[in-house]
Amino acid sequence: MRRIEDQGFLLLLFVVTLAFAWILRPFYGAVLWAIVVAVIFAPVNGRLLRSMGGRPTLAASVTVLIVIAMVLLPLAIIATSLAREASGLYAKMQSGEYDFGGYVQRVFDALPAWAVGWLDRFNLANLSELRETLTSGLMKGGQLLAPQALSIGMNTFDFVISLGIMLYLLFFLLRDGRGLAERIKEAVPLAPDRKSALFTRFADVARATVKGGVLVAIVQGALGGLAFWFLGIHAPILWAVLMAFLSLLPAIGAGLVWVPVAVYFLATGAIWQGLGLIAYGVLVIGLVDNVLRPFLVGKGSKLPDYVVLISTLGGIEVFGLHGFVIGPLIAAIFMVTWDIFATSKRPTRDSA
């Protein structure tokens, strides 16, 4: 009889949890980013808590104000500029002022004879189809990007609601996060040693994924956008945001944006601009990951690059924009749980 009651309660717990998750589904983005920001600013909140005599409400309130001043206001300015630049770029593509296929043609026209001969061997010298494909793809991308950029103002009400929920939840996560984590830890039905290992390892990997990956990507995107602005390239904020997103993918990175621009400079006779951009990209943008990431999260807690790449792409495919955080976090849980499982099996095999 006791077993039936336990099974019935577990079924009720499962159904209620699913129902609660279903209710929160429209605001899962706000909940996600509240958790992400709480993880990133937890050290700041801890320092404020100590300096304010252990008053958690005051420390959490000041931390939220810091988040608004340091993160939300700059993001609002960037989003406004991004929408304006994306719309302007799309309009120039529509009018034919920007012909990306023509830019590719200029690069190939500037190639030496040996390079053209090498391309001939692989049937790549005829660019007519490549130009049409590239132009068509860019136009489709512009048609997809421009409405999204313009919809920022149209969805203001939904954005304000989500932002309010995020800030409200952030305050309580900062104030009561430690106690909430302990209650969740107590509720997990695992042995104490596995539970401790799971939460410790997951916290390390999640911190590396969120704080290291996101902040490093922001810095790389900002540095790339600054270089594009200095070189007079149109829509530097748009390219900076694109480089920041690509920086989340270890096998791709911001070089997918700045390398073609440097090649175009070299092919069109702007030698110093091309060489300067290559040097800046390699020595500054490219080294940020190696220098800044160990400083932010240390060594040993980083997910393998191939896991980050696959999980980020898969997360974006399944969850959209939020997937670049959700995907690596799910991968972190996957790797931590399997590592704990494999470790727990070793004594059994050794004793046998």
* Letter string b/e over residues 227-251, b meaning 16 or more CB atoms within 10 A of that residue's CB: bbeebebebbbbbbbbbbbbbbbbe
Instruction: Supply the mean pLDDT for the chain.
Output: 77
Contact 89, 234 (CB under 8 A): yes
Please indicate, yes or no, whether the overall pTM of this predicted structure exceeds 0.75: no
Residue 352 has a pLDDT of 46
Pick the closest to residue 334 from 313, 297, 308, 300 (CA basis): 308
Residue 9 has a pLDDT of 80
Pick the closest to residue 331 from 181, 205, 215 (CA basis): 205
Tokens at 50, concatenated: 């100590």
Residues 30-38: what's their mean pLDDT?
A: 86
Give 4-29 pLDDT, tens digit per residue: 777 788 888 888 988 988 888 888 88
In this prediction, residue 121 has a pLDDT band, given cuts at 50, 70 and 90, of low
Among the listed ranges 91-100, 151-160, 214-223, 325-334, which one has the minimum average pLDDT value? 151-160
Residues 111-125: what's their mean pLDDT?
A: 62
Q: Could you please report the per-residue DSSP string of 67-130?
A: HIIIIIHHHHHHHHHHHHHHHHHHHHHHHTS--HHHHHHHHHHTS-HHHHHHHHHTT-S--HHH
Assess whether pLDDT exceeds 70 at residue 333. Answer: yes
- Secondary structure letter of residue 337 according to DSSP: H
Q: What are phi and psi of 9, to 5 degrees?
A: -65, -40
Residues 276-282: what's their mean pLDDT?
A: 90
Residues 157-170: what's their mean pLDDT?
A: 84
Residue 350 has a pLDDT of 47
Contact 257, 239 (CB under 8 A): yes
Residues 242-246: what's their mean pLDDT?
A: 84
- Secondary structure letter of residue 283 according to DSSP: I
